[in-house]
């Protein structure tokens, strides 16, 4: 039976983060995951996690200058100081709340210089994270929603994981992003399972709750279960209204 993690970057965003953790527990989630929680004191989040007994899977490094459209720093030549300051912040926050992974965001870039920069920075990031027993995740974003993001597809990300060759570097496999522009979600997931560190999902193409759209999540969840995956799957979807009203899928897929 699949287990689920509430992505609090999309769900219950109207609530203070500690209250969103409590709402996830009430709704029956097994874990939570975060986007950029840094405006909330880590001890407040830890208190809510301790109260509910929920695990927290991971969080993202800061994106950079968001008003200017930045979406990560680690593939940007000349921004290394900011990138590693963001990583240090993420490691410190993760250490307080007990998160197991950090999604290191590449940013908007392309070409060989960006590739070399990202690989070089990832090697350092993995070494730093390993000291704290943390997994580093990288995630391709689909070309429709994020046309200038450096990581464009799973094949590119797989090559980078192989090149960096760090024991704690894994893929964030988002079924939504794969389904949006790559297709063949199940086949791709089966092929990459040995290097996947986390799995997320949302309906394709709407990015709403699963159950409608082009991707058959009943089949996908059954296949993931059959492959022996035991960690919670990340519900990273847009509820398009009150989160509580979007949760019927949990009963269906359990």
**Tokens representing 188?**
């791709």
**Could you tell me which residues are beta bridge partners of residue 200?**
174, 234
Catalytic residue at 236?
yes
Question: Of the listed 14, 236, 244, 251, which one is catalytic?
Answer: 236
The answer to whether residues 57 and 33 touch, using CB atoms and an 8 Å cutoff, is yes
Which of 51, 139, 182, 244 is an active site residue?
Answer: 139
Q: What DSSP letter does each residue of 204-235 carry, written as one string?
A: TTT-SSTTSSSS-HHHHHHHHHHTT--SPEEE
Distance (Å, whole) CA 185 – CA 174? 9
Q: Are 69 and 39 in contact (CB under 8 A)?
A: no
190 is catalytic: no
Encoded tokens for 239: 């509820």
DSSP states of 34-93: -S--TTS-HHHHHHHHHHHT-EE-EEEPP-S-GGGT--BSTTSTT-HHHHHHHHHHHHHH
Q: Which of 188, 123, 112, 179 is nearest to 154 (CA)?
A: 188
Which residues are catalytic, by number? 139, 236
């Amino acid at each position: 039976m699949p287990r689920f993690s509430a992505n609090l970057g999309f769900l219950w965003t109207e609530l203070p983060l500690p209250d969103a953790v409590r709402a996830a527990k009430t709704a029956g989630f097994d874990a939570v995951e975060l986007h950029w929680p840094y405006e909330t004191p880590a001890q407040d989040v830890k208190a809510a996690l301790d109260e509910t007994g929920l695990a927290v899977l991971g969080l993202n490094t800061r994106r950079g200058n968001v008003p200017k459209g930045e979406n990560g720093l680690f593939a940007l030549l000349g921004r290394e100081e900011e990138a590693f300051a963001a990583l240090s912040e993420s490691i410190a926050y993760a250490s307080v709340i007990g998160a197991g992974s950090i999604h290191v965001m590449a940013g908007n870039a392309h070409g060989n210089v960006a590739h070399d920069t990202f690989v070089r920075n990832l090697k350092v990031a993995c070494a730093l994270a390993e000291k704290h027993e943390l997994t580093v995740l990288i995630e391709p974003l689909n070309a429709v929603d994020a046309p200038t993001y450096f990581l464009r597809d799973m094949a590119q990300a797989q090559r980078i994981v192989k090149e960096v060759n760090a024991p704690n570097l894994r893929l964030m496999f988002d079924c939504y992003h794969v389904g949006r522009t790559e297709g063949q979600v199940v086949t791709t997931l089966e092929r990459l399972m040995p290097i996947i560190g986390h799995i997320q999902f949302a309906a394709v193409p709407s990015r709403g709750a699963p159950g409608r759209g082009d991707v058959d999540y009943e089949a996908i969840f059954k296949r993931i279960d059959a492959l022996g995956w035991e960690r919670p799957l990340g519900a990273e979807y847009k509820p398009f209204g009150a989160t509580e009203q979007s949760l019927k899928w949990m009963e269906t897929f359990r």
